Amino acid sequence: MMHDCTQLNEERGLSQLPVIVGMGGVNPAGRTSGHQGYRRTVLDALPQEEQARTLLGLAAMMRLARCQDDGSWRDANGQSLDEADIVERFHQHVLDHTLIRRIEDPRFTTDGIPANRQARLDIEAPLVFRIRRRQLPDSLPETWQVHEIDRRQVEVTVPPGHLDVMLPERRMAQVRAAGQLPQGFDPSRFYRSVHHPRGLSMTVFGASDCLGQSGLSWEELRERLDPDAIAVYAGNSIGQLDDEGWGGLLKSFVAGQRATSKQMPLGYGQMPADFLNAYVLGSVGATGAVQGACASFLYNLRQGVEDIANGRRRVVMVGTSDAPVTPEIIEGFRAMGALADDDSLKALDALTLLTDADYQRACRPFARNCGFTIAEASQFLMLMDDELALELGARILGSVPAVYTNADGWKRSISAPGIGNYLTLSKAVSLANQILGPDALRQRTFLHAHGTSTPKNRVTESHVLDRVAHAYGIDDWPVVAIKAFVGHSQGSAGGDQLVSALGSFAYGLLPGIPTLDAVADDVHDERLRFFSTPLSFQADAAFINAKGFGGNNATGLVLSPEATERLLTKRHDSAALERWKARQAVTLERATDYETHADKGHFQAVYRFGEGVLEGPELDVRADRIDIPGYGQPVSLSVDNPFGSIND
């Protein structure tokens, strides 16, 4: 019996195993569900049928072709096409307008970035100008003389002297490469988005994609679980800083614009979790967002993993959504010297002019490089304890036994390297050694490096990886650096790495580093294996590594579906696994149906604004439980007390 297996695990002192039962999101490679984004990164190594499927799905996502209700396809002009025509016609366009590329926002190309320049005018004769009354400053300089022309216009006379002004200008972008979502894809189109920051629209899409891919019914889960058995941990690294969020709020005064009522609340870094609870899942369980710079995804994942392992929660949605491709954020990182700007890229390859192909090669982990390439992404996972996953017949994509985090300790500067990553990776490898055994550790695991493409990272991270490999007797350890394809999505970077690892488990291919012409001379690679084209590799586990700004280090251990099933066999009896496999038929059918529709560009975001709203008076509050209308199970008030009683 399942209950007996769980009781036996408790007697052995075993924790619940956090298994991955759903994944969803979007990044510059494409959609996460169905491994579409992963397939884009190993495209040339896939069978022809899988290549065509990938290109067709991306063409639909980019609105180059549209599948009609009767199953026929048409292009944007209404011309009828078959699937083979679409793949042939749009093949190169899909390749050119996914992954890292020249920023397609016209502000970064021909128009220039709108800006103002401070100036002082020396006025030799009185300056006279006409202006609308409402455009006058609230507080006028004492020397200005204002004459009314009519109800709308006034004439202003400024006497000779000094006048401080802001002169509008257009500044040409110094950074023109970024990892952008596939051209033509707008996540806000799939639900009633009203001035939502891009990161929150990506959150709604990513979480909806995760639910669809899981093949599970969220309503059925809510019916059978105590609402407190569900949690959401989601956020990002720097909040929503585009014009609809804090970006527009902070520059509103100087830009002569009004702040809106939405910019302040929608800018918060935990808002992805808030949106999921309020509009996607309707969850009243635990919630939060852990910010850890570039390691934020893994920090949130750790929270969910520990909740499940310790029995505090049974289902957890974790993830991040970052949309930092804005002029101000890019300028901030450029001023730090962290980004691969145009001048640095030219100097790196002795070029006088950068082509589109050069921008596509901007990110070069562990090669001669000059800075990272910023990107946007949204990645979400649904975690579940192994007992519940077996009971439901969930589709198990892998498992996450643990995520480790450590700080750097004393530092020369907040951006300088430190020692924390040696600790996180070593702990993760030690756990893998205990779960899988030394032979599997050395022969059937690989590394998903942080791999930012900065000169400092290539030295410091490679030293961490190489030293740990030496400590555990690992030779020729494969290293994947997915940022070469999708760029650095800040807090979501670990999510990009993890879903890529799940793709490698499914297809047996590790993405190469296509921008790696040669490993840089200062990279420590005695025990590491770097490669530029996809590598055939059957893995039991992957290590997801993150070295975040400020000393936020994290490493997660992710087991493959096959290794997870072997571990489940040890934890549960064979009959339980047979029943699980039988129950999977319905789940897989739902998941396949969702992916088939998504490959045709048919997305339906879950967004339930104003549905089932409760404010308190509707609750039935008792001493042992709280009954909530619309939720199948009550919230139990039988809380654990590990501290004893003062009345004993």
How far is residue 619's CA from residue 637's CA, in Å, rounded to a whole number? 14
Residue 488 is a catalytic residue: yes
601 contacts 74 by C-beta, under 8 angstroms: no
Structure tokens at 152: 């709308």
Selected catalytic residue, list 97, 450, 524, 572: 450
Selected catalytic residue, list 35, 196, 448, 488: 488
Q: Which amino acid is at 422?
A: Y
- Counts of helices then strands in the chain (DSSP H, E): 21, 27
DSSP structure class, residue 472: T
How large is the greatest C-alpha to C-alpha distance in the chain, in angstroms? 95
DSSP structure class, residue 16: P
Helix-helix angle 574-599:198-214, to 10 degrees: 130
490 contacts 322 by C-beta, under 8 angstroms: yes
Helix-helix angle 48-61:83-96, to 10 degrees: 70
Structure tokens at 310: 């310790």
Q: How far, in Å, are 12, 84, 208, 323, 537 from residue 191 at the CA level?
A: 48, 31, 11, 18, 40
Residue 470 is a catalytic residue: no
**If DSSP codes are grouped into helix, strand and coil, which group holds residue 572?**
coil
Q: What is the dihedral of CA 410, 416, 420, 425, to 10 degrees?
A: -170
How far is residue 408's CA from residue 548's CA, in Å, rounded to a whole number? 10
Q: Which amino acid is at 509?
A: L
457 contacts 426 by C-beta, under 8 angstroms: no
267 contacts 241 by C-beta, under 8 angstroms: yes
Element of type H or E holding 145: strand 145-148
Closest CA to 406 of 558, 289, 295: 295
How far is residue 118's CA from residue 552's CA, in Å, rounded to a whole number? 38
Q: How far apart are the first and last CA of the chain?
A: 38
Residue 450 is a catalytic residue: yes
Phi-psi region for residue 13, left (φ > 0), alpha (ψ -120 to 50) or beta?
left
298 contacts 405 by C-beta, under 8 angstroms: yes
Beta carbons within 10 angstroms of residue 112's beta carbon? 14
Structure tokens at 375: 């990107």
**If DSSP codes are grouped into helix, strand and coil, which group holds residue 83?**
helix
How far is residue 297's CA from residue 543's CA, in Å, rounded to a whole number? 14
How far is residue 29's CA from residue 181's CA, in Å, rounded to a whole number? 7
Selected catalytic residue, list 5, 67, 210, 294: 294
Closest CA to 318 of 331, 332, 308, 310: 308
Element of type H or E holding 431: helix 420-436
Structure tokens at 279: 């509009």
How far is residue 296's CA from residue 100's CA, in Å, rounded to a whole number? 22
Residue with tokens 């439980």, as numbered in its chain? 625
- The rounded Cα 441 to chain-centroid distance in angstroms is 28
How far is residue 426's CA from residue 217's CA, in Å, rounded to a whole number? 38
Active-site amino acid positions:
294, 450, 488
